[in-house]
Amino acid sequence: MGGRPVILLLFVSGLLDAHDVITTKITFSREISRILYKRCAGCHREGGKAPMALLTYEESRPWAKAIKEEVLERRMPPWGAVRGFGSFQNDASLTQEEVSLIAEWVEGGAPEGEARYLPPVPALAEPVKVTGRRIPVRNGAMVRGLLAGIEARVKAEVQSVRVFADQPDGSSLPLIWLRHYKPQWARAFAFRKPVAVAPGTRIRVEPEGQAQLFLITR
Ligand code: HEC
């Protein structure tokens, strides 16, 4: 009988400990602030598109668990394409290392670290503009020349659409893999380097019909 309150107390203090014990060397000041400034601050700042700012430790700490979840699920930052399938100048997605740092920081108690390591808050970056001629493409369309980028418009959120350039020699270039791509984005993805395709190259879209695609050519 008399044992009960003790068990309860142990249970409660166990919860508190799990919250407070710091088991990682990764800190907000050193690693995490740099990732957030580079990848999140464009929207997560006062007056930005996101509902809350993530610039300071005080602003970010209450969101730590949600931040981990959003980056592991690759819902944040919103980008709409799978990293590694095609290669883009304006790629907003996190590298695997950045995702791991954030996850480890949160699991290790999300410590602040020393203020002297904090980088300066960056100015807002200008979005990359992709210039060139926009040609609408569908499955099977012939293309040639230098491809500078690809633009996608969808009527409803698209779960997965892959676009390839099938060359006449039988090789196939992955152009883009749209994932969880939303109608409000109408995004232009700029290839890291213009993609040269041989005459006779055909576009392959899998599955077709879900996205309106435009190739941006030089
Ligand atoms: C292009 C703008 C943009 C960028 C960049 C961005 N976010 Fe967001 N974020 C949003 C918007 C808008 C919301 C509101 C919910 C929604 O629309 O999905 C949001 C919501 C969130 C939420 C709350 C999700 C919930 O539980 O409701 C978290 C956490 C988050 N973002 C973390 C991040 C992190 C971490 C980064 C950087 C790695 C980031 N975001 C980059 C726009 C952005």
pLDDT tens for each residue of 174-203: 999 999 999 999 899 999 999 999 999 999
Per-residue pLDDT of 120-155, as tens digits, reads: 998 887 877 888 899 999 999 999 999 999 999 999
Q: Exposed (0-12), middle (13-18) or buried (19+): which is 119, by Cβ within 10 Å?
A: exposed
Which residues sit with their C-beta closer than 6 Å to ligand 1? Answer: 39-40, 42-44, 49-51, 63, 66-67, 70-71, 76-78, 94
Pocket test of ligand 1: the residue of 70, 157, 181, 185 to mutate, having most ligand atoms within 8 Å of its CB, is 70
Which atom in ligand 1 lies closest to the alpha carbon of residue 42? 5
Find the range with the poorest average confidence among 84-88, 123-127, 159-163, 212-216: 123-127
28's tokens: 């907000």
Q: Can you give the pLDDT at residue 1?
A: 45
Which atom in ligand 1 lies closest to the alpha carbon of residue 39? 37
Report d(CA 160, CA 89) in Å as an integer. 21
Residue 87 neighbours by CB under 8 Å, 6+ apart: 191, 192, 193
Residue the block writes with tokens 């599955």 = 207
Cα-based distances in Å from 69 to 8, 100, 149: 30, 12, 30
Report d(CA 35, CA 7) in Å as an integer. 41
Output the CA angle 14-109-100, nearest 5 degrees: 130
Percent of the chain with pLDDT strictly greater than 90: 83
Pocket test of ligand 1: the residue of 32, 43, 71 to mutate, having most ligand atoms within 8 Å of its CB, is 43
**Cβ neighbours around 12 below 10 Å, total:** 10
Residue 182 neighbours by CB under 8 Å, 6+ apart: 78, 80, 154, 157
Minimum CA distance residue for ligand 1 atom 7: 77
Per-residue pLDDT of 36-74, as tens digits, reads: 999 999 999 999 999 999 999 999 999 999 999 999 999
Minimum CA distance residue for ligand 1 atom 15: 50
Q: Are 147 and 190 in contact (CB under 8 A)?
A: no
